[in-house]
Amino acid sequence: MTKRTKIVCTIGPASESRVVLEKMINAGMNVARLNFSHGNYKNHELLIRNIREVGWKLGQPVGLLQDLQGPRVRVGKLPQVGLSIARGDKVILIPESKINYQLLAASSDKILPIQYEALVKEVKPGSKILISDGLIELKVRKVKKLSSLISCVVVRGGTIFSFRGMNVPGVKIQADVITSKDKEDLRFGLKQNVDWVALSFVKEAKDVVALRKLIKTYQPHSQVKVMAKIERREAVDNFDQILAVVDGVMVARGDLGIELPAQQIPLIQKKIIEKCLAVAKPVIVATQMLESMMVNPRPTRAEVSDVANAVIDHTDAVMLSGETATGNFPVEAVTIMAKTISRTESSPYDDLLETSLPAYESVAVAAADSIHHLVKKLHIKAIVAATNSGHTARIIARFRPETKILVMTEDQATQQQLTLVWGVEARLIKVQNNLNKLIQQAVSLVHQEKIGKKGDKIIIASAYPVGSKENLNLVKIADI
């Protein structure tokens, strides 16, 4: 079964071998996510080489998404067994650099080292501190700024392990969104020619603008695309301004579901996808999609429904995190996700309603809409689009036409980046500058792809005059 919604897989110890990567690509992986919260440059360089070489071997382009860590508020280093706390226990949070265990040894309170030193300036008595995806909850009792101590009581206990994430709902973390680590990681990623860079914990549009300036400084001619991860309350509040300056969006439901009440997340997801669709910018739905497959060979029914509903929402891509990075069943997770996507897409429930389609704000959008209607009326076997930047492909895909979208491009970066865009299959081809030759080239590509039969119709989409600066204004129907 074919699928149009793309699959993003986080690569880690469970999936880094060429054998597993090949199986995952064959199962439906389109984009590989490299999480720079983990690993070193030597390891990431090896992963990038393996992903590319396996993709080339299979004749299947695989996009590379570099996910920057951002200013994560984390627990510091703890003993290997962790720190066990129970409801009612007193816990003192103190920056790792300022812990004096001799002075604190006499205290009956438990000591929790933290990495974010400014936290003592930002919380106040009554603030809630969540650890390990919200499973553990502390309530702030006292704040001693001079000694950098945060005294807490345990509301919900458990065992805390080293470097686990911390969330402080309702508190604005003032740390710079782009950390010194992110800057060095970005330099590395640009040298490796990653296709997308995801910025974590975005708060407002200026965070994205700052990242673009860094990219311009480090590599002036880089074509890398920028993605904003929506995982903070501020990002939801400022979403329209953020969307205007990014190339794509990730609905990062993990931290977002801790920062905001969980019951709000499904509706936020739908609204973000709707807004991304309106401006033809790809969107990923991420986190806990098939979480139980970390340890089980089959997902829960609720997880399958979650994937299906993201498809029905018209997301461009769905993402696997720990399932493929460290889980026991990475290939099975991709396989089940792909099957769920295909089955959902074959139903009428994912069809885009006419009322959901954007207004004609340009000739290109009007042309793409005409393609959408022609596909339905004439049973078009394929759309063949010529593009250098990928813009034409994204405009066509925003209308979710129910047929194959083949893209001819001379730019390898564009081919790689389009692996994230719904329904698009990009081929690296030198595009002809003559209309008649372009038509012949499109028909030849459809023959090569073994699409349809003699007499079937295809649509060719391009700028005209052919070869001019991209602006979709040509829609041509041709016979195979």
Query: pLDDT band at 465, cuts 50/70/90?
Result: confident
- Give the total residue count for the chain: 480
User: Which superfamily does 83-167 belong to?
Assistant: PK beta-barrel domain-like (2.40.33.10)
Could you tell me which residue, 165 or 302, shows the higher pLDDT?
Answer: 302
Q: How far apart are the first and last CA of the chain?
A: 23
pLDDT tens digit sequence for 356-404 = 555 667 888 999 999 999 998 998 999 999 999 999 999 999 999 999 9
What integer pLDDT is reported at residue 256 of this predicted model?
Answer: 92
Domain boundaries, the chain: 6-70+177-344, 83-167, 354-479
pLDDT tens digit sequence for 179-225 = 999 999 999 999 999 999 999 999 999 999 999 999 999 999 999 99
- What three-state secondary structure class fits 188? helix
pLDDT tens digit sequence for 48-93 = 999 999 999 999 999 999 999 998 788 998 888 999 999 999 999 9
Q: Average of pLDDT values for 332-337?
A: 98
By annotation, the residues acting in catalysis are: 33, 74, 229, 287
pLDDT tens digit sequence for 266-313 = 999 999 999 999 999 999 999 999 999 999 999 999 999 999 999 999
DSSP letter (8 states) at residue 61 = -
Q: Where are the alpha helices (DSSP H) in 279-387?
A: 301-312, 322-325, 330-345, 363-378
Residue 104 reports pLDDT greater than 70: no
Asked if 77 and 84 touch (Cβ cutoff 8 Å), the reply is: no
- Nearest Cα to Cα of residue 150 among 80, 190, 62, 90: 90
User: CA angle at residue 476 from 2 to 391, to 5 degrees?
Assistant: 65
pLDDT tens digit sequence for 230-249 = 999 999 999 999 999 999 99
User: Which superfamily does 354-479 belong to?
Assistant: Pyruvate kinase, C-terminal domain (3.40.1380.20)
pTM, entire model: 0.93
Q: In this structure, how many other beta carbons lie within 10 angstroms of the beta carbon of residue 373?
A: 12
Q: In this structure, how many other beta carbons lie within 10 angstroms of the beta carbon of residue 392?
A: 25
Architecture of domain 6-70+177-344: Alpha-Beta Barrel (3.20)
Say if 83-167 and 354-479 have the same CATH topology.
no
What integer pLDDT is reported at residue 374 of this predicted model?
Answer: 94
Question: Strand 382-386 vs strand 404-409: parallel, antiparallel, or unpaired?
Answer: parallel
What integer pLDDT is reported at residue 102 of this predicted model?
Answer: 56
Proportion of the chain above pLDDT 70, given as a percent:
96
Rounded CA separation 254/14 (Å): 21
